[in-house]
Amino acid sequence: DIVLTQSPGTLSLSPGERATLSCRASQSVSTRHLAWYQQKPGQAPRLLIYGASSRATGIPDRFSGSGSGTDFTLTVSRLEPEDFAVYYCQQYDSSPLSFGPGTKVDIK
């Protein structure tokens, strides 16, 4: 099974700052089968990025994804007030589908 690790656990930033979130896989995720989700309290997750770097429909271009192999990054170029949330990565390279434990981005 592929185990995903996310760092940091919590990221405290101010609006307008850049957020860089890391997702590391226990083995190589071939063909970039990695997605990122945003979840706010009391809401379902929302798809942000798939294929490691493709933005989902309606996602602002301040969100970008990069990486390959075992190391992936989600970057939010300038944090807006609505971006403070928990972010999860998910691999779909092999069964079982698995999620990372999440990174919480909160207001400094």
Partner 1 sequence: QLQLQESGPGLVKPSETLSLTCTLSGGSISSSSYYWGWVRQPPGKGLEWIGSIYYGGSTFYNPSLKSRATISADTSKKQFSLRLRSMTAADTAVYYCARLINDFWSSYPTYFDYWGQGTLVTVSS
- Residues within the interface to partner 1 (CB under 8 A): 33, 35, 37, 43-47, 50, 56, 88, 90, 92, 95-102
In the complex, the smallest distance separating the C-beta of residue 15 from partner 1, rounded to whole angstroms, is: 25
Alpha-carbon dihedral sign for residues 48, 103, 2, 26 = positive
Would you say 35 or 105 has its CB closer to partner 1? Answer: 35
* CA-based nearest residue to 88, from 47, 31, 57, 33: 47
Q: How far is the CB of 50 from partner 1 (least distance, A)?
A: 5
Strand pairing class (10-13; 103-107): parallel
